[in-house]
Amino acid sequence: MSDILSRRGFLGATTGLAAAAAFRVPAGPPEAPAVHIRPPAKPVIVASGNGLRGVERAGQLIATGSDTLDAIIEGVKIQELDPTDMSVGYGGLPNEDGVIQLDASCMHGPTRRAGAVGALENIKTPSVVAKYVLLYTDHILLVGEGAKRFALSYGFQEEDLMTEQTRQRWLSWRANRSGRDDWLDVSGEHEMVARPHGTININAVNARGEISSVTTTSGLAWKIPGRVGDSPIVGAGQYCDNDVGAAGSTGRGEANIKACGAFLTVENMRRGMSPTDAALETLRRVVATTEGRLLNERGRPTFGLNFYALNKNGEFGAASMYPSSFSAFHGETAAVHDTAHLFEGR
């Protein structure tokens, strides 16, 4: 009996060893499938329609060796420092209290780092402050008074961001808020736009396949003080993955935040979609999750939202709810293009 047991034990042991050998897990992590992506021969930059000067500037800088993030921040600074541009930075449109609060975020693909600021007051270039958050802190998002103190500690100058043009626009809005409350209707020489908003997003890839993205804005005009839209939210206002590509947005921030639109667009590209198709697919998700109160009688959104995207090999595109435009630098020239769009009309 003991011999039989021994033989059984031996057979069981050898069978177990054979099974273990057949299903042995290799030491260390499994190797990922090799993916060969050829970066563009020259810089490719894509941006919102108001970013024509920005993509041209960024393209010139990248061509001479500048880092992609440094270059695109120099691009958006053109708008941030332009007092005639009421959508971002200096001269941006204020909140309902007449205070300009700025938002920005950025990502640097090679280092996989991000930085952002929200509700920043009295600093002209929030995109640069966001880059400093990326460079010098273990945080990603600083807001309000803390963001301003951080900027001042690095030598940024506190300045009045209101221009006479934006002040008059705010006064005109304030005087005409409603004929049904205690405020009188006051006619003004400035055309009234109920809720203007504007943002600039720029994304870039260089010949080494290094990707970065940045978005900056003064947000929705006449907003409730402290309101922050999608621009400083990493994954919404902009997102980049150095293995895949980058995307950013302009338009109704509240709708984009709920869809994590920039992140979703990059993930769509990861699944093999072109930048344009990836952006269109994200817009379809936004429409599907939009509240009924924000849809018209045809079931279409009553707001605008645009996405701009590029991938690691230099393909680029953009899509919007309704017909719009975007800027791109490809090769050695900058130009404005029409976006793909879901719906006709406005």
Q: Report the catalytic residues.
A: 199
Helix (H, G, I), strand (E, B) or coil at 190: coil
Sign of CA dihedral 81, 162, 131, 195: negative
* Stretch (H or E) spanning 334: strand 333-338
* 110/285 Cα distance (integer angstroms): 29
* 294/287 Cα distance (integer angstroms): 10
Taking Cα atoms as reference points, which of 36, 35, 43 lies closest to residue 207? 43
* Stretch (H or E) spanning 216: strand 211-217
- Secondary structure tally for the chain: helices H, strands E: 9, 13
Give 295's DSSP letter. B
* 85/93 Cα distance (integer angstroms): 9
∠132-135-137 over CA atoms, to 5°? 85
Give the max Cα distance, the chain: 110
Please spell the DSSP secondary structure of 281-313, one letter per residue: HHHHHHHHT--GGGB-TTS-BSS-EEEEEEETT
Let me know: does 232 contact 104? Beta carbons within 8 Å. yes
Let me know: does 239 contact 213? Beta carbons within 8 Å. yes
User: Which residue intervals of 177-260 are DSSP H helices?
Assistant: 253-259
